[in-house]
Structure 1
Amino acid sequence: MGVTREINGTVLEIALRDITKQTTDAIVNPANRQLKMTGGVAGAIAAKGGRSIQEECDEIGSCPLGEAVMTGAGFLKTTYIIHAVGPRYGVDPEPEKYLKSAVMKSIELADKNNLSDIAIPAISAGIFGYPLEDAAEVIISAVIEKILSGTKLNKILLCLFTENDYMVFINTLDRLK
């Protein structure tokens, strides 16, 4: 199940899928600043990808709010994991600014490493408490802005885990046209 839009030569797809099973060049992990992969999407990535992912994160040490770093993907079908640090809603200042930055930095890191496609989840909308509708608007707007300003990526997949999340993202995309 998915919806695609071609924008400026890049395919934007919104799909209901398990991000840990994607074969894109990279998947994005909604990370915390300490890069500890203990719960939520990060915990699922660590459980399925193996210990090497956390070990690489430990070597990096930390990542600032709104930034992204990259590691290998262990046993996952993807090649890389981009760890993007989104805001904790109601805790971190300027949540919209930092969520937008986390998305854009993820795409920039993929471009810098000559990747062709990435999968991005609903960063900050899980255990970080960002309201889903607001997160969808920020994430989709940031992706479209980055595509329009120029990216080498052939495809950006917004990968949602629940049908509700998927429908919110589809409705947001339709509204932002």
Structure 2
Amino acid sequence: MKTSIHGINIECYRGDIASQHDMTAIVNAANAQLRIGGGVAGAIHRAAGYGLEKECRPMAPINPGEAVISGGHNLPNKYVIHCLGPVYGKDKPEDKLLANCYRNALLLAEENNIDSIAFPAISTGAFGYPIKEATDVAVKTIKEVVPKLKNIKTIRFVLFSQEDYDIWSNALS
């Protein structure tokens, strides 16, 4: 699924965030310590190799809503932007913290002259954020931030399951 907002291509794909060969940056749904974990963080760290964790160590810990940038190491991407999403029901206010993840990642990409970025569905796995609500927060935030972007030409959302892909596709169309 593809659309355009303010001249920026917005894409929705079903697949693996660690296999986005045509993206300059991917976003890691990180843990506070920026270490290998389960889900997205595990997939990205395993694909990137040990150097990613080593580079990230001095940047940790990060707080919910924060974003930091590292190299891509063994990934096909030049950069990884790490965001700590909120744990649903624990980190408050969840919607503002989740919005900050998307906003801060995009602004960090913009600062680093990144032209394409791929996001997972932040906080919707082990952190328990309901996919529909998380998607609504993300799409609203993207629409607010996109008019301020000058370097980014493509924003992709990479969803692992068909159900998540369907929810995102509907929200973006």
TM-score by length of 2: 0.95
Distance change (3 Å), C-alpha of 1:110 and 1:172: same
Q: 1:7 aligns with which of 5, 12, 21?
A: 5
Structure 1 distance, partners of 2:172, 2:119, is 15
Structure 2 distance, partners of 1:130, 1:74, is 29
How many aligned residue pairs are there? 172
Q: Which residue pairs with 2:29 in the alignment?
A: 30
Structure 1 distance, partners of 2:147, 2:71, is 28
Identity of aligned pairs, percent?
38
Gaps of 5+ in 1: none
Q: Which residue pairs with 2:78 in the alignment?
A: 79
Q: In structure 1, what residue type is equivalent to 2:17? A: I
Structure 2 distance, partners of 1:147, 1:56, is 29
- After superposition, the CA RMSD in angstroms is 1.1
Structure 1 distance, partners of 2:60, 2:13, is 32
1:48 aligns with 2:44: no
Partner secondary structure for residue 95 of structure 2 = helix
1:112 aligns with 2:79: no
Structure 2 distance, partners of 1:131, 1:10, is 27
Q: Which residue pairs with 1:16 in the alignment?
A: 14
Q: Which residue pairs with 1:63 in the alignment?
A: 62
Partner secondary structure for residue 87 of structure 1 = coil
| Post-superposition offset of 1:152 | 2.2
Partner secondary structure for residue 157 of structure 1 = strand
Q: In structure 1, what residue type is equivalent to 2:54? A: E
Q: Which residue pairs with 2:129 in the alignment?
A: 130
TM-score by length of 1: 0.93
| Post-superposition offset of 1:89 | 0.4
Greater Cα shift, 93-102 or 164-173: 164-173
Q: In structure 2, what residue type is equivalent to 1:13? A: E
| C-alpha contact 2:110 2:149 (8 A) present in aligned 1 | no
Structure 2 distance, partners of 1:54, 1:48, is 11
Q: In structure 1, what residue type is equivalent to 2:93? A: E
Distance change (3 Å), C-alpha of 1:115 and 1:38: same
| Post-superposition offset of 1:61 | 2.1
Q: In structure 2, what residue type is equivalent to 1:82? A: I
Partner secondary structure for residue 87 of structure 2 = coil
Structure 1 distance, partners of 2:160, 2:140, is 20
Gaps of 5+ in 2: none
Q: Which residue pairs with 1:168 in the alignment?
A: 167
Partner secondary structure for residue 158 of structure 1 = strand
Structure 1 distance, partners of 2:16, 2:64, is 25
